Structure 1
């Protein structure tokens, strides 16, 4: 029976700082918080460091190598908001402690020709590397133009392994493609109602205040983006608050849409040492489709949502190492998002909650997101104190996934 005792570290348990205490890992779980290291345990000296729950990125799109890259930065779980890692396709991932764990919506409900088709150059076909094929059933493409179609696709998505149902509500205006086919209110309402009938969480892709209103009217559970087309008003903040939804601001994505690259992050030696050339180039690029946007407006909206008591979840919208999907990278950009949340006015502790306990609670991941007895030993040990200085999250000393430390 293997035991590891992490001693001398400050512990942030996902909600608050516990002070310096010992955390015992046994058989992939947190066996005890507090007390003394038992005889025979491997000792990890955590003096000068902080132990956190493994981080959760609440908005990604995965591809070859992305889950390994995420884990390298202490992101132990990624929530895929469009992709192929549904339940039947991830048995190998669930048992592989060298990559981040993943949950997935499968493919989102959207009309034929709707978002995200406009993001890809003509002739581009995202898919697995040449000579490989994904395990499990092929992805279900739930193209819908009527309420009946959207409602009919929901049980099929669930049967196909979707952990939650995502709806694209996007007319292309932010991406420079106005007039894109988009779900109408009746179709969105029908799809959300059917998902609720099945007891499944719903999330919506909305980039404007108007599409945000549509999603709220439909009864959505969470917003996978924060609108970026205008400053917030008290009215829309009140609507979001009263709906009880969570919001994944993805400030790093909004910044990229506005032409702000991730070059400063890529220049950080703590990041540069963990990125290959493709991801370095991607991080130094940007989407650049909405240069008229104002990042200060986005940050003010984040602060207003926080003050209203809305649950904020840290997410990045990181996808593939392609410059036209630039400004964000798996793992690294979640740390950047935490820095943006603090810049918006959250405390470092509030930002850390947004990447640990809060996404775990809102997505029903009750076995992770906290440092507590009986939970998965998904842990991140960093030098310094990110509960005081948020950028210390990048000072990685060790990462555990189910109690296992992947090779550096």
Structure 2
């Protein structure tokens, strides 16, 4: 692999903006920041552009084809929150620089018949996403109705390669299925405690304030969603802040649940050029299960959490290219999420941190999420300055995954 010198670009290093510096890439790593260009290096002129760390989507359901689509949008890592890409099952992905890297919870702990079974039409049987190539045993389905069952599943999930443990806390009310079987407090408490005892990061699916309270009472590390059933209160914001949890707002998902499509994003030629017909159709549709929700309330909650110092992580909950799972597309929706975060009142730099350094830190991905010497050369070069105009993240000039430049 030849040495690459990216010259003349403004650098957003995942935390702050730095003046134009030469960034040297060698053997898949960031070898040096600053200094002269070594003789024989391939030079990439970054004049008029900004160099960013590869983006991280902190909430997806994915497969190889979806990971390839994500990478075309500069998303170099996806964090799967229900699926098959556990450590025992992703060797074909980890070494493939034509697709985004992935980490996975495996399947979330939920009761039989609990979320997400209600999302699919009668007779629909979700299989692995297009392009999935599982090589291990069938996925472990950790259906739990008692504390003992939840505790027993934790070591099994770890043994099967789950990178973190997810718990579904959902009564179906937001999805239009009230009364859905859900984990009770004792089962959630026991499962979370056992996972943390074994050193695992814990994440909860929560779409309501009540579910959020349950997860925090159980000692959860992070919330995979932001509640959408009511406006925030100071008490709720303080509860989240004092618990030290991170939040993946998935504003794009909440918008889709409220019937707001991704059509405006799909109309952007920078997006349309990278989507096939199925993903375009999916992006132009919506979940539509919670039309009574108010996106303004969600945005106000995002701003209040940010102002309180809560760690926000960019995520989308994108999955299959199907209209009833619509409003979302791999890769593209991360950029949409960043735009929503800025609309909520975050600065562009704050929004960029949610998809880079903050997510890497909270998921202990110590080799990525920042532009620093010795880290993976997962990089995006974009025209313009997304630290002032967030939509400039879509002005892709070049993408590297482990120092390998994506052919576009």
Q: Secondary structure at the match of 1:8?
A: strand
Residue 57 of structure 1 and its aligned partner are, at CA, apart by: 0.2
Question: Partner of 1:377 in structure 2?
Answer: 377
Residue 128 of structure 1 and its aligned partner are, at CA, apart by: 3.7
Residue 133 of structure 1 and its aligned partner are, at CA, apart by: 5.8
Q: Write the deviation string for residues 176-205 of structure 1: whole angstroms up to 9, x where unpaired.
A: 000000000000000000001100000000
Question: Partner of 2:17 in structure 1?
Answer: 17
Distance 2:361 2:132 in 1: 35
Q: Secondary structure at the match of 1:212?
A: helix
Residue 19 of structure 1 and its aligned partner are, at CA, apart by: 1.1
8 Å Cα contact 1:21/1:33 also seen in 2: yes
Question: Partner of 1:178 in structure 2?
Answer: 178
Distance 2:121 2:382 in 1: 40
Any residues of structure 2 matched to 1:302-321 within 5 Å, and which?
302-321=302-321
Gaps of 5+ in 2: none
Question: Partner of 2:336 in structure 1?
Answer: 336
Question: Partner of 2:214 in structure 1?
Answer: 214
Distance 2:325 2:129 in 1: 18
Q: Write the deviation string for residues 8-65 of structure 1: whole angstroms up to 9, x where unpaired.
A: 1000000000111000000000000111111100000000000000000000000351
Q: Write the deviation string for residues 113-162 of structure 1: whole angstroms up to 9, x where unpaired.
A: 00000001112112147998621121100000000000110110000100
8 Å Cα contact 1:64/1:128 also seen in 2: no
Question: Partner of 2:28 in structure 1?
Answer: 28
Inter-CA distance 331–194: structure 2 relative to 1 (3 Å threshold): same
Question: Partner of 2:346 in structure 1?
Answer: 346
TM-score under structure 2 normalisation? 0.99
Q: Write the deviation string for residues 257-315 of structure 1: whole angstroms up to 9, x where unpaired.
A: 00000000000000000000000000000000000000000000000000100000000
Any residues of structure 2 matched to 1:93-242 within 5 Å, and which?
93-128=93-128, 134-242=134-242
Question: Partner of 1:407 in structure 2?
Answer: 407
Distance 2:142 2:88 in 1: 17
Inter-CA distance 405–181: structure 2 relative to 1 (3 Å threshold): same
The question of 1:278 aligning with 2:274 is answered: no
Q: Write the deviation string for residues 202-260 of structure 1: whole angstroms up to 9, x where unpaired.
A: 00000000000000000000000000000000001000000000000000000000000
Gaps of 5+ in 1: none
8 Å Cα contact 1:300/1:344 also seen in 2: yes
Distance 1:143 1:381 in 2: 44
8 Å Cα contact 1:63/1:320 also seen in 2: no
Question: Partner of 2:393 in structure 1?
Answer: 393
TM-score under structure 1 normalisation? 0.99
The alignment yields a C-alpha RMSD, in angstroms, of: 1.1
Inter-CA distance 344–110: structure 2 relative to 1 (3 Å threshold): same
Q: Secondary structure at the match of 1:312?
A: coil
